[in-house]
Structure 1
Amino acid sequence: MAEEFLRKLGGDRFTVQSAGLEPGTLNPVVIEALKEEGIDITGKAPVTVRDLIAAGRKFDYIITVCDEASAERCPVFPGGGRRLHWGFPDPSGFDGSPEEKLAGTREVRDRIKQTVADWLAGPPWHP
């Protein structure tokens, strides 16, 4: 979600890429929550940190969004880049009815969107 909001709110100021530790499928609840914001990630292929390292990718900023409270492992990305951490709960771990999962995912989505907007509006950064 952070990738999509940075792309949407940051426009062409950034080349944005996200990656996880384990390859998997996209969470359908996240797909639905982002569609409510006019963002369609249907069919997007997940990328792993290992893929980016193998491709020799370099970044100006490396932003992790893993939830340290749940002991989720945050990826370590070698190489340059200023490191930022924005901890958010992982919607794939939400329990409850489909409506409760969507409500929780919306809360995380809205927090991520606000965090990205605040970062973009904050002190100067140099992509």
Structure 2
Amino acid sequence: MDRIRVLFICCHNSGRSQIAEAFLARFGQNRFEVHSAGTDPTAVEPLVVQVMNEVDCDLRDKTATNVRDLLRDNAPYQYVITTAGPNGLHDMPTLPAETVRLDWAFPDPEYVTGSLEQRLAATRAIRDDIRTQVIRFLHDF
């Protein structure tokens, strides 16, 4: 049986989409081929690496990927899920008609403010909310 192809997208591929990719890969029981990308990729956010390490997900060697490269160089994805919400992405490439697009809106860990402890707490909350949404997504399969 072919695995279901899922692509998570956010603006920079520096946090939310990386978290979602890691959780779907972990909880998906090998039923999914999962990737993440950004419309304007940058480096993975260090706080995201730290809070994901707390739940045994190592993102230290992850790099940000450009969504155009993934869509151009790979077979179509059955699901494309934006983690920045429906209005959070600019310049999104056109998707094939058969692709299911879902919009999940999470705050961007890159923009959390406050002391280090406050930023870690906010990033942990984002991580946990994304994990919950990924688990909800899995209930449909």
Q: What is the identity, as a one-letter code, of the residue corresponding to 1:72? A: G
2:49·2:58 contact (CA, 8 Å) conserved in 1?
A: yes
Q: 1 CA distance for matches of 2:136 and 2:65? A: 26
Return the TM-score normalized by structure 2.
0.79
Choose the corresponding residue for 1:48, options 56, 66, 71: 66
The 3 A distance-change label for structure 1 pair 90 and 37 is same
Offset of residue 118 of structure 1: 1.5
1:29·1:105 contact (CA, 8 Å) conserved in 2?
A: yes
Gaps of 5+ in 2: 1-18
Whose helix fraction is larger, Structure 1's or Structure 2's? 1
Q: Give the share of equivalent positions with the same residue, in percent.
A: 36
1:62·1:81 contact (CA, 8 Å) conserved in 2?
A: yes
Q: Does structure 1 residue 18 correspond to structure 2 residue 36?
A: yes
Q: What is the identity, as a one-letter code, of the residue corresponding to 1:29? A: L
Query: Once superposed, what is the RMSD of the aligned Cα atoms?
Result: 1.6
Choose the corresponding residue for 1:73, options 73, 77, 89: 89
Aligned length, in residue pairs: 121
Gaps of 5+ in 1: none
Return the TM-score normalized by structure 1.
0.87
Q: What is the identity, as a one-letter code, of the residue corresponding to 1:110? A: D
Q: 1 CA distance for matches of 2:107 and 2:23? A: 17
